[in-house]
Amino acid sequence: MKSFLEGKIVLITGSSRGIGLSTAKLATQYGAKVILHGRTNSASLKKLVRDLKADCIICDVSNQKDVLRAVKEIVNKIGKIDVLINCAGIVAVEPFLKSSDDHWLELFKVNFLGTVHFCQAVIPYMQKAKYGRIVNVSSVRGHPVTVSNRGMAYSVSKASVINLTAALAKEYAPEIAVNVVSPGFVNTDMAKTWNEKVWQQAKSALLGRIAEPTEIAEVILFLANDKSSFITGQTIVVDGGYTLAGK
């Protein structure tokens, strides 16, 4: 049986760890040729490149010039990018009244501008090919009903990714579909930043647990392939019923 990502080139930002890493492994299983991405060329990333028979680019997503250069180099080598998954992100918490501009800017540079930069770098190649699928990663924190008053800058940066996704879908239809996934609480390194109150919220989801990264990756890859050919500009919340639980 032909795997549904056979022949597709899939670039996944932030795939050295967490949800991005799970998505890269699953995309490989589904037949894709994966381009991994990390901030530094770590030993674990090098091993992953070998294990998945993948390619890899290294750059800080917040640096527009570096992103444009890295994407250009890999397209020169491989020829195209069919799917872009913007997974790189950071979380940080500062009380609102004490939060510095640096704090707000850092979250925006990585979570919002990082997504902007990769879209700017990849879309021209998708336009040329008259085909492309982009999946951005936001968070339930980017939605007013589940916003975080603890990590406001994170929430606002994630809200901006949802808005950007809709605008990009409008601008680049019909050739390029752009969607966004908003995960709830997921078992990655980010979970190490949660305090007891956040853990209680996480467990209040209707399913009574947090997600494993692969449960988010499956939804991302659904939006990344032609099985979802009539979906664009949408936000898919994958939160185990956290939003509905209303706690």
**Footprint of ligand NAP (CB under 6 A):** 14, 16-20, 38-40, 60-62, 87-90, 110, 137, 139, 183, 185-186, 188-191
- Nearest residue (CB) to ligand NAP, 172 versus 185: 185
**Min dist. Cβ of residue 38 to ligand NAP (A):** 5
Give me the catalytic one of 125, 154, 172, 242: 154
- Note whether 9 and 30 are within 8 A (CB): no
154 is catalytic: yes
| 68 versus 90: smaller Cβ distance to ligand NAP | 90
CB closer to ligand NAP, 177 vs 190: 190
Q: Write down the least CB distance from residue 128 to ligand NAP, Å.
A: 26
Q: What is the nearest approach in angstroms of ligand NAP to the Cβ of residue 172?
A: 21
User: CA-CA distance, 235 to 223, in Å (whole number)?
Assistant: 10
Match 């009244």 to its residue by tokens: 97
Supply the minimum distance, in Å, between the C-beta of residue 8 and ligand NAP: 21
Q: Are 164 and 136 in contact (CB under 8 A)?
A: yes
Contacts of 171 (CB under 8 A, 6+ apart): none
Distance, CA of 238 to CA of 183 (rounded, Å): 5
**Which are the contacts of 86, defined by CB distance < 8 A and separation ≥ 6?**
13, 14, 114, 115, 118, 119, 134, 135, 136, 137, 161
**d(Cα 229, Cα 4) in Å, to the nearest integer?**
13
| Residue among 89 and 132 whose Cβ is closer to ligand NAP | 89
Active site residues: 154
